[in-house]
């Protein structure tokens, strides 16, 4: 409670007690949750590394955008530095929107958007983005998601998934009831035939 009212506290704020015993909000740095490598240099795996905040980024999850920092791992002896690259982010199920990783999308955002389009095809992409921004606002976070960026990144993600399934020889549209011999027919076949006749057949 702040000033006798409940208030949502964003993850970038920390509650501390001042000298008079009152609560105050202090800004803190939140880093992207990603596992660092066990060894970044030749000093040995038992070396204690220093983790500090690096470049700022925006992570978009199903709960909206978060302002975070990429972790930077340093070796105190040889001054070797490690920061997560694109391959490290994809392995942790983060999809970078740009090559500089200024914005990241969690895989569950794309999966939820795809499931929503299958369950309710009339729902627009703009409504889905507004839902993400509203969930962020309800928890004390501010941020907006560019519709053009989401559209482009989702298409890239969908194409890469299709390419992966093609390389793995996955056939998602192959119907086991119709291949190689038809084992089932549509229950509303008469209705389809009626609609076909009503539409005056095939167009020239």
Distance CA 188, CA 171 (A): 26
Continuous segment of H or E residues that includes residue 34 = none
Query: What spatial distance separates the first Cα and last Cα of the chain, rounded to whole Å?
Result: 71
Residue 107: the pLDDT is: 94
Q: Strands 103-106 and 94-96: what pairing? A: antiparallel
Distance CA 35, CA 52 (A): 14
Task: Map residue 57 onto helix, strand or coil.
Answer: strand
Handedness of CA 28, 31, 36, 42 (dihedral sign): negative
Continuous segment of H or E residues that includes residue 101 = none
83 pLDDT above the threshold of 70: yes
Distance CA 121, CA 112 (A): 13
Residue 78: the pLDDT is: 81
Structure confidence at residue 194 as a pLDDT band (50, 70, 90): low
Distance CA 39, CA 173 (A): 44
Residue 150: the pLDDT is: 95
pTM of the predicted protein model: 0.73
Predicted confidence (pLDDT) per residue in 15-38, tens digit: 888 788 777 778 888 899 998 887
40 pLDDT above the threshold of 50: yes
Domain limits, the chain: 48-167
């Amino acid at each position: 409670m702040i000033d006798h009212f409940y208030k949502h506290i964003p993850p970038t704020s920390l509650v501390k007690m001042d000298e008079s015993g009152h609560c105050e909000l202090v800004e803190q740095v939140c880093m992207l949750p990603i596992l660092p490598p066990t060894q970044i240099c030749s000093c040995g795996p038992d070396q204690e590394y220093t983790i500090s905040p690096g470049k700022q980024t925006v992570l978009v999850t199903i709960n909206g955008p978060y302002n975070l920092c990429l972790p930077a791992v340093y070796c105190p002896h040889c001054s070797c530095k490690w920061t997560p690259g694109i391959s490290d982010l994809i392995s942790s199920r983060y999809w970078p929107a740009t090559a500089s990783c200024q914005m990241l999308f969690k895989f569950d955002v794309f999966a939820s958007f795809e499931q929503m389009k299958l369950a309710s095809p009339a729902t627009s992409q703009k409504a889905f983005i507004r839902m993400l921004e509203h969930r962020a606002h309800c928890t004390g976070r501010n941020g907006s998601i560019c519709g053009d960026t989401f559209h482009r990144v989702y298409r890239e993600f969908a194409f890469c998934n299709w390419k992966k399934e093609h390389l793995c020889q996955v056939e998602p549209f192959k119907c086991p009831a119709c291949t190689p011999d038809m084992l089932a027919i549509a229950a509303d076949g008469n209705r389809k035939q009626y609609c076909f006749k009503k539409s005056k057949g095939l167009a020239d």
